[in-house]
């Protein structure tokens, strides 16, 4: 009888051991070096694109995902005396100055920066190099407006008009990254404290606030069965609705509002973590990330877009991606300095 | 009892003392390395980074009006949720304890499923059922011809309470139901014969006997609700915040580590206070009693009244625990797009697309895993968690139960509950700060996942085991010892058979906790080995109907895996353990 118990324990431990072991058994003729990259949980890459780098430099690239962007950044900061990795990828402009102030990166002026427009290079010391960007914009459900014979909104100003009463859902900037980005868009456009007046009007127009993008986009947005036809999401959401449709469709069912000042641009950066033992390899990886192969892989893997102007986009994006020409701008320094006050004031006006 | 001589007595006690110390060795070592050390490190670092010492962040917190409000709300909603969970769970526990009926094991298995479902999926289920365009609202609007949705539940306190009941009823069903099933029904019959009515019998006889199990379940439910995070965020909306939500906001969004540390300590003190109240209370009400095998205590549903009672309870449990899950399962087979214009309750079409799509790596992503692999990984972590949690939980529970008068026990007992009441964000950062040198540089190791899961599961294991261990008559053990049995033999011959069921309950908790855990897995995950909840989250955080559908399909698979595992664990028969 007790034999059974031991067999069960044995089997279970084997399962556990196999799982913990299968990451470490890699054999090649010349022992390859290992490069470790710390990133957030949305990171993704094609197998071929990674293989190309690994084969070219005889290196094993290992990824550590450390939660959402904010969590990953905080972890990198707290681990700066004994870094977990050689590279950190995925810090955005809302967290950038926190990390720069902590000095977690080593400066590296990659030659590929020549192909990247200056507007993305927010860190003039080149501790953090821009890799990709995504715009947080309002999306609307096209069919709703056709069915109801309404003109969809075109600017932020439109949203406070009576015909858009009860129609908008946004995220809480305290808990959601697109929520914060949209708040920053209104701050960039209306200034401080002008943005608070704007939000007062939105509240009067019965704007709905939820905590997360998932609830806003997949539950409250009319496109997913909810009752609100206007939602804060990404500029890229409409083309992805085509790519990831249930049944193939020719046109996006949603559209993004990209007029001047209506969107906020999130730029993601990568940097070499201070104290790396693999500086040469780390530089090569940064160059690779900024080069066309990786840059062209970005959109379909991570739903954001390349900063390298030589990177070519997939046909669907060329056709359906609306990129704002003049997104709203708030500098990383201002964001870090005022984040708490802005969110507190917003909370007072919108949630109390 | 007269002992033969004085020398025998001291020798005996010395041996007891060694056994006792030996029992605590492993649990304490585990908690010190993987709990107290990381927690202490992050708290210390937080205060030193603040540069303002210990006092000023405390003053900041105490003087802040919002912290007071948050603390009050956290306690209030947890207390109310616990009471409601007990109200739903206790009748169910009685049914499962006293009656044998067809489909009982299925009901038991299904009732455990909510426990493993990630909150983001539960939010989807609640919306599908109760949201502004949920089935209930659509049906009501259709039947009564209403222009707007009559049920406005989302983003209210009711959604929070309902979700807490949905998640935690299984704790009451298992902990109380199992203990109750071993209580000799003849005690009640004797009371009735002596003239007590049903009411008196319940309050004077039954309640004191099952009290410790109810208290243990209530404590766990309370702490779970008290540290609630995902439910508050996703179903309560932005107007509600618990301490845990505020700690996340202060830590991640504002990087105000000193204030976050104060809040984390506040949360811990509340957990500790609750646990001390619990320990005091149970010490007073716990008494050894003879446990009976279930074949002895359970009867069939023969009378009209018992059948009616059983039906009502099963309907209640189904409505609260299973209906939301059913909504998810339906959604995973439903195509919405073609019929979109005229969408009503009955329009959507049946599809298997979402399931087929799960096996396709369309983007040839490096981190793609097919569902079978994710199932394997989840089961692997869950098995490792069961082993680890039992290996450290059983000795701890045993030491607690057998030496209940020892002062060390009264000190250690409340401490064991602390991991459950600790902010996941704080502890996650603690791992990064503390576990950074060999042999414990585990910051990027997959082993950290079962360890983190064990920290949550360990209090459950201890609490599931102690009521049964406590109730073993000490004279049985003494008799065995006097007859020459070693402590190990006493354990095998006396304790193990009697706590066998409780052991299975404990294993079930450890297993389900690991299977459904999201926060820790996401924070320390090696992307090559994602658990099912992690893969679900990957899908649901991306735009596109097929991604959402895949999240629903994988959630359905997770439910099947959970229910299947529950049934398998129920059937386990180890050394007659399951039979008792």
pLDDT of residue B575: 46
CATH code: domain A134-265+321-351 is 3.40.190.10
Cβ neighbourhood burial of A225 (10 Å; 0-12, 13-18, 19+): buried
Q: Are A320 and A245 in contact (CB under 8 A)?
A: no
Question: Do residue A13 and residue B365 have CB atoms under 8 angstroms apart?
Answer: no
Phi, psi of A130 (to 5 degrees): -70, 140
Bridge partners for A35 per DSSP: A61
Residues in Cβ contact with B488 at an 8 Å cutoff, skipping those fewer than 6 apart: none
Q: What angle, rounded to 10 degrees, do the helices at B257-285 and B424-434 form?
A: 110
Q: Which of B27, B64, B488 is nearest to B263 (CA)?
A: B64
CA A101 to each of CA A105, A177, A246, B143: distance values in angstroms, whole numbers, following the listed order:
10, 21, 45, 61
A266 touches chain B (CB under 8 A): no
Mean pLDDT across chain A: 90
Closest residue, chain B, to A4 (C-alpha): B574
Residues in Cβ contact with B489 at an 8 Å cutoff, skipping those fewer than 6 apart: B480
Cβ contacts of B130 on chain A, cutoff 8 Å: none
Closest residue, chain A, to B574 (C-alpha): A5
Question: Do residue B542 and residue A48 have CB atoms under 8 angstroms apart?
Answer: no
Cβ contacts of A224 on chain B, cutoff 8 Å: 548
Secondary structure (3-state) at B227: coil
A245 touches chain B (CB under 8 A): yes
pLDDT of residue B491: 78
- In this structure, chain B runs to a length of 580
- In this structure, chain A runs to a length of 352
Which listed CATH number (3.40.190.10, 3.40.50.720, 1.10.580.10, 3.40.50.1100) goes with A31-133+266-313? 3.40.190.10
| Angstrom distance (rounded) from CA A201 to CA B323 | 40
Chain B closest-CA separation from residue A20 CA (Å): 6
Beta strands at B299-300 and B99-100: parallel, antiparallel or unpaired: parallel
Beta strands at A208-210 and A168-171: parallel, antiparallel or unpaired: parallel
A215 touches chain B (CB under 8 A): yes
Question: Do residue A174 and residue B238 have CB atoms under 8 angstroms apart?
Answer: yes
pLDDT of residue A269: 97
Residues in Cβ contact with B342 at an 8 Å cutoff, skipping those fewer than 6 apart: none
Residues in Cβ contact with B326 at an 8 Å cutoff, skipping those fewer than 6 apart: none
Total number of domains constituting chain B? 1
Half-sphere exposure of B303 (CA within 13 A, CB side): 5
Q: Are A219 and B133 in contact (CB under 8 A)?
A: no
Cβ contacts of A5 on chain B, cutoff 8 Å: 574-575
Flag whether pLDDT at A175 surpasses 50. yes
Q: Are A197 and A187 in contact (CB under 8 A)?
A: no
What CA dihedral angle connects B380, B384, B386 and B391, to 10 degrees?
170
Q: Distance from first CA to last CA of chain A, Å, rounded?
A: 64
Averaged over A338-351, what is the pLDDT?
A: 94
Flag whether pLDDT at A22 surpasses 60. no
Question: Do residue A210 and residue B523 have CB atoms under 8 angstroms apart?
Answer: no
Averaged over B457-469, what is the pLDDT?
A: 86
| Angstrom distance (rounded) from CA A209 to CA A194 | 20
Secondary structure (3-state) at B148: coil
Secondary structure (3-state) at A15: helix
pLDDT of residue A29: 55
| Angstrom distance (rounded) from CA A210 to CA B237 | 5
Secondary structure (3-state) at A256: strand
Task: Compare CB distances from A65 to B335, B527, B549 and report the shortest one's residue.
Answer: B527
CA B164 to each of CA B135, B216, B351, B453: distance values in angstroms, whole numbers, following the listed order:
21, 17, 32, 20
| Angstrom distance (rounded) from CA B393 to CA A303 | 44
- In this structure, what token pair is assigned to residue A29? 């003729």
pLDDT of residue A26: 42
Residues in Cβ contact with A30 at an 8 Å cutoff, skipping those fewer than 6 apart: A58
Q: Are A89 and A279 in contact (CB under 8 A)?
A: no
CA B341 to each of CA A150, A223, B142, B335: distance values in angstroms, whole numbers, following the listed order:
16, 10, 16, 13
Q: Which of A178, A186, A195 is nearest to A231 (CA)?
A: A178
The verdict on residue B248 lying in a domain is: yes
pLDDT of residue A172: 95
Question: Do residue B544 and residue A241 have CB atoms under 8 angstroms apart?
Answer: yes
Q: Which of A99, A110, A103, A105 is nearest to A127 (CA)?
A: A105
Could you tell me which residue, B367 or A164, shows the higher pLDDT? A164
pLDDT of residue B337: 59
| Angstrom distance (rounded) from CA B117 to CA B327 | 13
Residues B371-413 pLDDT 10s? 999 999 999 999 999 999 999 999 999 888 877 667 788 788 8
pLDDT of residue B574: 52
Cβ contacts of B155 on chain A, cutoff 8 Å: 210
Cβ contacts of A339 on chain B, cutoff 8 Å: 253-254
Q: What angle do CA A89, A24, A104 make, to 5 degrees?
A: 25
Flag whether pLDDT at B9 surpasses 70. no
Task: Give Cα B413 distance to the centre of its chain.
Answer: 19
Please report, rounded to a whole number, the percentage of residues in chain B having pLDDT higher than 90: 36
Cβ contacts of A62 on chain B, cutoff 8 Å: 444
Averaged over A110-128, what is the pLDDT?
A: 95
Chain B closest-CA separation from residue A189 CA (Å): 23
| Angstrom distance (rounded) from CA A184 to CA A237 | 19
Question: pLDDT band at residue A212, thresholds of 50, 70 and 90?
Answer: very high
Instruction: Write the CATH number for B301.
Output: 1.10.3720.10
Cβ contacts of A45 on chain B, cutoff 8 Å: 365-367
Cβ contacts of B353 on chain A, cutoff 8 Å: 246-247
Strand (E) or helix (H) holding A344 = helix A332-351
**Residue intervals in chain A for CATH 3.40.190.10:** 31-133+266-313, 134-265+321-351
Domain of residue B462 covers 16-46+57-579
Q: Are B461 and B389 in contact (CB under 8 A)?
A: yes
A60 touches chain B (CB under 8 A): no
A to B CB pairs, distance under 8 Å: 215
Question: Do residue A241 and residue B386 have CB atoms under 8 angstroms apart?
Answer: no
The verdict on residue B4 lying in a domain is: no
pLDDT of residue B519: 78
| Angstrom distance (rounded) from CA B127 to CA B563 | 23
Flag whether pLDDT at B96 surpasses 80. yes
- In this structure, what token pair is assigned to residue B60? 């900041």
Residues B12-34 pLDDT 10s? 577 777 777 888 899 999 999 99
Phi, psi of A174 (to 5 degrees): -75, -25
Could you tell me which residue, B445 or A189, shows the higher pLDDT? A189
Task: Give Cα B39 distance to the centre of its chain.
Answer: 22
A145 touches chain B (CB under 8 A): no
Interface pTM, i.e. ipTM: 0.86
The verdict on residue B505 lying in a domain is: yes
Flag whether pLDDT at A98 surpasses 50. yes
The verdict on residue B396 lying in a domain is: yes
In B181-322, alpha helices (H): 185-193, 198-200, 207-226, 230-231, 243-248, 257-285, 294-297, 304-317
| Angstrom distance (rounded) from CA B547 to CA A58 | 35
Lowest pLDDT segment from A114-128, A194-208, B292-306: B292-306
pLDDT of residue A25: 42
Flag whether pLDDT at A220 surpasses 60. yes
Secondary structure (3-state) at A312: coil
Secondary structure (3-state) at A133: strand
Chain A closest-CA separation from residue B534 CA (Å): 9
Q: Which of B267, B233, B90, B70 is nearest to B163 (CA)?
A: B233
Flag whether pLDDT at B289 surpasses 80. no
Q: Distance from first CA to last CA of chain B, Å, rounded?
A: 30
């Amino acid at each position: 009888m007790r034999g059974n118990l031991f067999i069960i324990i044995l089997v279970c431990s084997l399962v556990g051991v196999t799982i913990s072991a299968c990451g470490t058994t890699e054999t090649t003729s010349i022992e390859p070096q290992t490069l470790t990259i710390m990133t957030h949980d949305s990171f993704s890459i094609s197998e071929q694109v990674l293989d190309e780098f690994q084969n070219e430099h005889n290196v094993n690239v290992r990824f550590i995902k450390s939660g959402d962007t904010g969590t990953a950044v905080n972890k990198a900061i707290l681990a700066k005396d004994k870094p977990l990795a050689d590279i950190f990828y995925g810090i955005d402009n809302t967290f950038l100055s926190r990390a720069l102030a902590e000095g977690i990166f080593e400066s590296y002026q990659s030659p590929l920066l020549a192909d990247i427009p200056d507007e993305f290079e927010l860190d003039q010391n080149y501790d953090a190099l821009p890799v990709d960007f995504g715009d947080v914009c309002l999306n609307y459900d096209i069919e709703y407006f056709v069915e109801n014979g309404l003109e969809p909104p075109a600017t932020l100003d439109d949203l406070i008009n009576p015909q858009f009463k009860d129609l908008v859902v946004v995220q809480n900037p305290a808990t959601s990254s697109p929520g914060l980005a949209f708040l920053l868009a209104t701050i960039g456009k209306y200034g401080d404290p002008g943005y608070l007046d704007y939000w007062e009007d939105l509240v009067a127009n019965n704007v709905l606030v939820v905590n997360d993008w998932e609830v806003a986009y997949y539950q409250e947005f009319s496109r997913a069965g909810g009752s609100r036809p206007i939602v804060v999401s990404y500029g890229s959401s409409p083309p992805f609705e085509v790519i990831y449709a249930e049944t193939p469709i020719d046109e996006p069912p949603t559209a993004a509002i990209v007029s001047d000042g209506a969107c906020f641009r999130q730029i993601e950066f990568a940097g070499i973590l201070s104290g790396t033992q693999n500086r040469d390899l780390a530089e090569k990886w940064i160059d690779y990330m900024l080069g066309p192969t990786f840059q062209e892989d970005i959109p379909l893997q991570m739903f954001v877009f390349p900063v390298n102007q030589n990177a070519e986009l997939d046909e669907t994006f060329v056709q359906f991606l609306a990129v704002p020409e003049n997104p709203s701008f708030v500098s990383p320094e201002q964001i870090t300095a005022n984040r708490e006050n802005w969110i507190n004031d917003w909370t007072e006006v919108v949630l109390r | 009892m007269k002992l033969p001589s004085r020398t025998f007595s001291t020798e005996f006690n010395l041996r007891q003392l060694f056994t006792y110390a030996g029992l605590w060795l492993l649990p304490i070592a585990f908690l010190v390395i993987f709990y107290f050390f990381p927690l202490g490190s992050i708290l210390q670092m937080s205060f030193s980074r603040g540069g303002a010492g210990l006092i000023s962040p405390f003053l900041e917190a105490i003087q802040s009006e919002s912290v007071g409000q948050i603390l009050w709300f956290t306690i209030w909603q947890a207390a109310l949720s616990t009471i409601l969970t007990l109200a739903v769970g206790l009748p169910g526990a009685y049914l499962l304890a006293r009656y044998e009926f067809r489909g009982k094991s299925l009901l038991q298995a299904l009732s455990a499923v909510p426990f493993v479902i990630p909150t983001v999926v539960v939010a989807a289920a609640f919306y599908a059922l109760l949201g502004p365009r949920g089935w209930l609202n659509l049906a009501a609007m259709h039947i009564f011809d209403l222009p707007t949705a009559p049920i406005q539940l989302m983003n209210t306190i009711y959604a929070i309470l309902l979700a807490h009941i949905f998640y935690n009823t299984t704790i009451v069903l298992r902990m109380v139901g199992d203990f109750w099933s071993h209580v000799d029904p003849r005690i009640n019959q004797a009371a009735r014969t002596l003239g007590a009515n049903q009411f008196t019998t319940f309050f004077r006889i039954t309640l004191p006997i099952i009290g410790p199990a109810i208290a243990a379940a209530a404590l766990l439910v309370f702490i779970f609700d008290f540290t609630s995070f995902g439910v508050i965020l996703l179903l309560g909306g932005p107007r509600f915040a618990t301490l845990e939500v505020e700690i996340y906001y202060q830590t991640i969004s504002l990087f105000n580590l000193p204030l976050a540390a104060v809040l984390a300590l506040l949360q811990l003190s509340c957990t500790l206070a609750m646990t001390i109240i619990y320990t005091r209370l149970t010490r007073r009400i716990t008494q050894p009693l003879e446990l009976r095998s279930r074949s002895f205590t359970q009867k069939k549903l023969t009378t009209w009244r018992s059948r009616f009672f059983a039906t009502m309870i099963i309907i209640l449990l189904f409505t609260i625990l299973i209906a939301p899950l059913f909504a998810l399962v339906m959604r995973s087979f439903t195509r919405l797009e073609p019929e979109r214009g005229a969408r009503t309750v009955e329009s959507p079409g049946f599809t298997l697309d979402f399931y087929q799509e799960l096996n396709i790596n369309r983007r040839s992503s490096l981190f793609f895993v097919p569902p079978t692999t994710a199932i394997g990984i989840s089961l692997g972590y869950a098995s490792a968690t069961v082993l680890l949690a039992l290996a450290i939980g059983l000795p701890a529970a045993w030491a607690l139960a057998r030496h209940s008068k020892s002062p060390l026990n009264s000190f250690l007992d409340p401490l064991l509950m602390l991991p459950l009441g600790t902010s996941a964000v704080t502890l996650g950062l603690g791992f990064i700060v503390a576990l950074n040198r060999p042999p414990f540089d585990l910051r990027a190791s997959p082993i950290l996942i079962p360890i983190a899961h064990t920290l949550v599961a360990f209090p459950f294991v201890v609490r599931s085991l102690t009521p049964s261990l406590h109730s073993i008559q000490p004279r049985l053990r003494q008799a065995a010892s006097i007859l020459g049995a070693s402590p190990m033999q006493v354990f095998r011959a006396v304790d193990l058979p009697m706590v066998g069921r409780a052991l299975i309950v404990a294993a079930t908790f450890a297993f389900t906790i690991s299977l459904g855990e999201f926060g820790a897995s996401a924070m320390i995950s090696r992307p090559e080995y994602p658990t099912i909840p992690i893969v679900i989250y990957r899908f649901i955080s991306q735009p596109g109907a097929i991604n959402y559908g895949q999240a629903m399909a994988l959630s359905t698979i997770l439910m099947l895996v959970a229910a299947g595992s529950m049934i398998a664990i129920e059937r386990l028969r180890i050394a007659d353990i399951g039979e008792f």
